[in-house]
Amino acid sequence: MAKLTAEQRLERVHMKIMQDKNLCLFSGVIMVGDVKVSDTVPTACTNGRDVIYGREFVESLDDGELMFVVLHEAMHKSYRHLAIYKHLRRQRPDLINLATDYVINLEIKDYGRLLSKEPYSPRMPLDDRGNVMGLIDERFRNMDTTKVFNILKNEIPEQREPGQDTLQDSQDVSNGGDDAGGKTPQSHDEHDWDGAAELTEEEEAELKDEIEQALREGSQLVGKRGGRVSRGITEALQPQVDWKDALRDEVKEVVRGHDDSTWRRLNKKYLAVDVIMAGTESTKIGGICIACDASGSIGASEQGQIFGEIKLICDDVKPSRIDLLYWDGEVAAREVYEEHNMSAFVESTRPRGGGGTDPDCLPPYMQEKVITPEIMIIFTDGCFSGGSPDSGKWSNVTCPIIWCVIDNKSYTAPFGKTIHVNL
């Protein structure tokens, strides 16, 4: 029998995925984007849409190992890693690849247990010396990518070559099992962040919808066949509350306390049944304090989206002033906008900061500068150098506090209202 080509072997693995009662979850995902075999790619690579496999790498794997690699790339696409975690890559590009791989490899390991009697049961590839190629560590079980990333950030110091301005992505192939021999662990595949960045906003939105639809259809197929959908995918498919709506509702809840009855505006709800009642009108609220994490975790694009929404809310509720604070390990800058220049704050603001991340620096600064807003909105990714904020240090901040946590569902503030923001 003639030896199958790399392309034919990949097609066969794809068919096995579609036929299996558990793996059929990814039937649609593996069809999203292009799948190619290259003579120059050392292992495998994805930009979140397209996947490229190295020919020699595919030929070196048995059926179970190849299944593992195909599922690994499919999970990167399913969780939209290269779209969601751009802000973590800006912090430590050497770690974000590791964090995503630790999470999904444990999920694939669990699929391997379900399919242990099958010849195509996924198992991690081994190199010529019998070492595991990739990352696996049971201590990260049931953790999400952000939590794993924060643990790695505390454990692995930044390493820069002489004259190197930025850290490089880790893309080498080496032993990344539970015992990595004291070396910095490495991913077994490449993550094409540059390729992902080339997608337009329209292409990203279309890709997001396409993947979500593929997973929903895959979940239905798993259910019909009596299979099991992983917890991570189940959570990813949960309906999401639009953070803009949630934030607007929270701010308006404060404004409602300023509503006055007035006969100049009748209540339209009761006019329909011939009952005349006074309506309400909102008076202006006092100040709003916006505190933006400037440690480097929130980029210019994210800030633009955030401030654009804040401006729309302010146009609606008409605060008397905005105190805009940029903070990292301390408050790096304060900008004050009042009625005459409030409409231009998005264009006028100049973000500053870039050190550690400690939200407990905010209350003493506000006390010193006598900043007493009627509502405070804090934007952060929830990754703090000194741990979660100490509620005891916030006792002098008596207004409602809203924590807008960006792309980090694992963090909820210990006080105030937390809104999870997906950008």
CB 78 within 8 A of CB 72: no
CB 25 within 8 A of CB 229: yes
Rounded Cα distance, 187 and 417, in Å: 37
Task: Give the start-to-end residue ranges of the domains of the chain.
Answer: 6-236, 243-421
State yes or no: pLDDT of 162 exceeds 60. no
**Class of CATH domain 243-421:** alpha beta
Query: What pLDDT sits at residue 44?
Result: 94
Residue 199 backbone phi and psi in degrees, to 5: -70, 135
Residue 181 — very low, low, confident or very high, per pLDDT cuts 50/70/90?
very low
State yes or no: pLDDT of 153 exceeds 60. yes
CB 148: neighbour CB atoms within 10 A?
23
Q: What is the DSSP letter of 336?
A: E
Q: Of 13-22, 175-184, 318-327, 355-364, where does mean pLDDT reach its minimum?
A: 175-184
Share of the chain above pLDDT 90, in %: 43
Rounded Cα distance, 112 and 14, in Å: 16
Share of the chain above pLDDT 70, in %: 81
CB 2: neighbour CB atoms within 10 A?
5
Collapsing DSSP states into helix, strand and coil, what is residue 135? strand
Could you tell me the pTM of the whole model? Answer: 0.66
Query: What pLDDT sits at residue 378?
Result: 94
Q: What is the DSSP letter of 281?
A: E
Amino acid type, 320? S
Structure tokens of 214?
A: 């593929």
State yes or no: pLDDT of 415 exceeds 50. yes
